[in-house]
């Protein structure tokens, strides 16, 4: 394929992917499968790399770029005010009376829309292209998180030609309930603290330094306001919502224009009943004067506009009996107490169980079996026990006490310093083994195709394996008797297990399931220690000398390899022939030895990854941000703020040609 054909095909693919994104996220009418979408995206990415066809607003930018060490502040051209809150009908009527009093008439209507419990953000578009995304911050200025927001598929990277030359969008980034639950389950499996609610999860995700990690978070977006320089005395908020949808922005379908405060209250009451059925979390309703021409006259306080107010829903609660307290064992041994409840209807679902979090929380609330308890859904999602109703009743049960031994394997439980959770540290504990096997075989670790949950369950039940190290001793004739496991599929699994021995050291470290050690930390450990043997014998000081390793991770690594059963597991993996040494890449030269480069912009003939590899092959290294320790900035087209910072620090700025000349010279 020549460049001209590649350009044409790339444009076709971009149009297809942009239409598919709009159909899925805005119109809720998908027309291609996920598989077809992924294949088109992969083809486009390959073309852009091969023929250097990268564009700022290509759908391939959704995967995220290089990490950033900080977020520059940006001033908001129009202040992002928060809203005053109201909690009952009387306060809403007071708001209506204040509006009428200031205007001197009642010739206005109200726009009523759901209030999302997420993170408010601002988007700026120039000449149809998304150029800036920022957090609300203090209302006057926020953080520039443009690279992170480019990964959110709901946010258009470009809009149609009929849009204004320059405009801004106000909206809410959020997570859907099911996606939030899955994210928390994944965090707990990795030994990380779960997020308290979708709002915290969304806000935290948007402030991550690595856009590639943000791209993996299930962040969604709703637009709720459009800011245009051209004034229109007759424009209403309702009209702007229609404009937003026509421009390709997702807007909430629950939006009403009401002619009176009575109609507003009726709408709120109907949405209060509806909210438990929605896929996302809403904590109330926003009521705005619909006619924008009155905004200036109504004005604002130092914090809130006088033309809008938020009505907050009450958390739905129910009273039921706590029948017993059971214990769950997580993948990394965390013991979670669970309230087994007499079934009760709450927020549209039947609640039978609720997390009690940890022993300290149970003792603080003095929760005991047999108590009548108040249950509510935290953030409308996770059932939790709020309080005991009849704490002074006679013949009440004994206070809860965590058992000394694991309920699953009988091993003695441990509580680490500065932690509230009890843990089972036995790597052969059955519930942990099941979850550890799934993690070990997953795509990001050993990538053992065909080793799904059902197969793992059968292997354990039949006593064919007890740990992930046992996988490497399996034979085909042991697998064929299993359900849905014919000779061919059995051989395919044996082959997949054999191929996994070739995985690099960093993947093996990640697969071991060491607490707090994720994919990035695993790479840093492999890069520093080079061999599993070196890592296993590392002391605290050597571990914390690595930039990404803090005291908590260092203690976890030492504790893992200090456990005799874990040592035996690792030895079994080594005997099975896994790759315990990091493969070194030979330098082509040392012409760039000890030189630190920062890359920015689009290079003429190389992708950034290709340039990074070239620098490393000649002894240099790359970092993500410009500092006084940077030796060179390698800059292409549209270099951005890194160029300005390098110039300010008098750091030499190189073109692609300059870099090649340094290497050739």
50, 87: one domain: no
Clarify whether residues 373 and 491 are in a common domain: no
For the chain, the 3-state helix, strand and coil shares in percent, each to the nearest 5, are 40, 20, 40
Residues 357, 365: Cα–Cα separation, whole Å: 12
540 part of a folded domain: yes
**Four-residue CA torsion sign, 67, 72, 75, 79:** positive
| Same domain for 265 and 116 | yes
User: pLDDT band at residue 581, thresholds of 50, 70 and 90?
Assistant: very high
Domain check: are 302 and 204 in the same one? yes
Cβ-contact 123, 150 below 8 angstroms? no
**Two tokens at 295?**
């905004």
Q: Which two tokens stand for residue 584?
A: 């070194």
302 shares a domain with 158:
yes
CA distance 655 to 636: 6
Instruction: List, for residues 381-435, the tens digit of each pLDDT value.
Output: 678 898 999 888 888 888 999 999 999 999 999 988 778 889 998 888 988 888 8
Specify if 587 maps to a domain: no
Q: How far apart are CA 184 and CA 219, in angstroms?
A: 14
DSSP string, 86-118: E-SHHHHHHHHHHHHHHHTS----EEEEEEESS
In this structure, are 373 and 438 located in the same domain?
no
| 508 and 652 inside one domain | no
Q: Is residue 244 part of a domain?
A: yes
d(CA 269, CA 313): 10
> Using CA of residue 127, residue 131, residue 132, residue 133, what is the dihedral sign?
positive
Q: Which of 312, 329, 363 is the last residue of a domain?
A: 312
- Domain stops at, among 312, 344, 370: 312
Q: Is residue 591 part of a domain?
A: no
Q: Do the domain assignments include residue 589?
A: no
Statement to judge: residues 344 and 473 lie in one domain: no
- Kindly state the tokens that stand for 475: 């034979």
Q: Output the domain CATH number for residue 81.
A: 3.30.470.30
Same domain? 277 vs 182: yes
**Taking each helix axis from N to C terminus, what angle separates 177-189 and 198-206, rounded to the nearest 10 degrees?**
70
| Segment 122-139 mean pLDDT | 91
- Whether the pLDDT of residue 644 is over 60: the answer is yes
Establish if 68 belongs to a structural domain: no
CATH of residue 332:
2.40.50.140
Give the C-alpha distances (Å, rounded to integers) separating 51 from 3, 6, 14, 44, 611.
6, 7, 15, 11, 15
| In the block, residue with structure tokens 């000398």 | 545
Residues 6+ apart with CB under 8 A from 601: 635, 636, 637, 638, 639, 640, 643
Q: Which of 19, 115, 240, 523 is catalytic?
A: 115
> Is 451 within a domain?
yes
Give the end of a domain, one of 268, 291, 312.
312
pLDDT tens by residue, 228-270 = 877 677 899 999 999 999 898 999 999 999 999 999 999 999 9
Asked, for residue 561, whether it belongs to a domain, the answer is yes
CATH code of residue 654? 3.40.50.10190
Let me know whether 134 and 168 are in one domain: yes
Q: Is 22 among the residues known to form the active site?
A: no
Confidence band of 588 (pLDDT split at 50, 70, 90): confident
Higher pLDDT, 57 or 487: 487
- The strand order across the sheet containing 119-126 reads 129-135, 119-126, 166-175, 219-228
Number of domains in the chain: 5
Do residues 168 and 239 both lie within one domain? yes
CATH number at residue 43: 1.10.287.610
Q: Which domain holds residue 53?
A: 3-63
Please report, rounded to a whole number, the percentage of residues in the chain having pLDDT higher than 90. 43
Q: 108 and 79 in one domain?
A: yes
For the beta carbon of residue 583, count every other beta carbon within 10 angstroms. Answer: 8
Rounded to two decimals, what is the model's pTM? 0.53
């Amino acid at each position: 394929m020549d460049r001209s054909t590649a350009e044409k095909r790339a444009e076709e693919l971009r149009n297809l992917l942009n239409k598919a994104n709009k159909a899925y996220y805005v119109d809720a009418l998908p027309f291609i499968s996920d598989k077809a979408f992924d294949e088109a995206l992969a083809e486009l990415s390959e073309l852009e790399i091969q023929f250097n066809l990268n564009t700022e607003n290509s759908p391939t930018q959704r995967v995220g770029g290089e990490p950033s060490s900080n977020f520059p502040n940006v001033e908001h051209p129009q202040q992002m005010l928060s809203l005053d809150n109201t909690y009952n009908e009387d306060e809403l009527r007071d708001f209506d009376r204040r509006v009428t009093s200031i205007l001197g008439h009642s010739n206005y209507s109200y726009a009523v829309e759901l209030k999302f419990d997420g993170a408010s953000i601002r988007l700026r578009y120039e000449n149809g292209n998304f150029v800036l995304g920022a957090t609300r911050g203090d209302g006057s200025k926020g953080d520039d998180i443009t690279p992170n927001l480019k990964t959110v598929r709901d946010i258009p990277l470009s809009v149609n030609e009929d849009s204004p030359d320059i405009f801004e969008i106000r909206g809410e980034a959020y997570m859907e309930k099911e996606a939030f639950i899955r994210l928390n389950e994944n965090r707990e499996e990795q030994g990380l603290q779960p997020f308290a609610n979708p709002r915290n999860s969304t806000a935290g995700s948007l402030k991550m330094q690595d856009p590639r990690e943000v791209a993996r978070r299930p962040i969604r977006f709703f637009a709720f306001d459009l800011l245009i320089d051209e004034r229109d005395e007759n424009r209403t908020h309702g009209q702007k919502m229609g404009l937003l949808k026509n421009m390709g922005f997702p807007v909430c379908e629950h939006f009403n224009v009401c002619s009176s405060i009575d109609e507003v209250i009726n709408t709120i009451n109907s949405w209060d009943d509806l909210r438990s059925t929605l896929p996302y979390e809403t904590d109330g309703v926003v009521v705005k004067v619909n006619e924008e021409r009155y905004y200036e006259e109504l004005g604002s306080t130092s914090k809130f506009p006088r033309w809008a107010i938020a009505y907050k829903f009450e958390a739905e609660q129910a009273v039921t009996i706590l029948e017993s307290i059971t214990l769950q064992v997580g993948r990394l041994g965390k013991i979670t107490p669970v309230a087994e409840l007499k079934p009760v209807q709450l927020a549209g679902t039947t609640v039978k169980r609720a997390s009690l979090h940890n022993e300290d929380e149970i003792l603080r609330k003095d929760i005991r079996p047999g108590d009548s308890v108040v249950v509510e859904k935290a953030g409308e999602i996770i059932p939790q026990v709020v309080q005991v109703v009849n704490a002074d009743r006679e013949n009440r049960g004994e206070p809860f006490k965590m058992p000394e031994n694991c309920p699953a394997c009988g091993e003695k439980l441990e509580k680490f310093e500065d932690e509230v959770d009890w843990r089972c540290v036995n790597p052969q504990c059955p519930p942990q083994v099941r979850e550890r096997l799934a993690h070990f075989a997953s795509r990001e670790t050993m990538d053992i195709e065909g080793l799904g949950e059902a197969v793992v369950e059968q292997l354990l039940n039949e006593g064919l394996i007890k740990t992930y190290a046992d996988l490497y001793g399996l034979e085909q004739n042991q697998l064929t008797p299993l359900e849905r496991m014919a000779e061919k599929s059995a051989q395919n699994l044996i082959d997949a297990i054999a191929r996994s021995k070739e995985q690099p050291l960093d993947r093996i470290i990640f697969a071991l399931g060491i607490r707090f050690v994720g994919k990035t930390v695993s790479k840093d450990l492999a890069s520093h220690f080079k061999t599993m043997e070196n890592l296993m014998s590392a002391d605290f000081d050597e571990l914390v000398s690595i930039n990404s390793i803090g005291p908590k991770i260092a203690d976890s690594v030492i504790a893992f390899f200090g456990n005799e059963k874990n040592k035996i597991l690792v030895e079994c993996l080594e005997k099975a022939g896994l790759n315990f040494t990091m493969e070194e890449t030979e330098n082509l030269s040392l012409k760039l030895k000890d030189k630190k480069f920062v890359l920015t912009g689009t290079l003429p003939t190389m992708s950034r990854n290709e340039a990074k590899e070239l620098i490393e092959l000649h002894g240099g290294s790359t970092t993500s941000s410009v500092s006084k320790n940077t030796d060179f900035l390698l800059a292409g087209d549209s270099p951005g703020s890194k160029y300005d910072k390098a110039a300010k620090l008098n750091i030499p700025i190189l073109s692609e040609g300059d870099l090649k000349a340094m290497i050739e010279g």
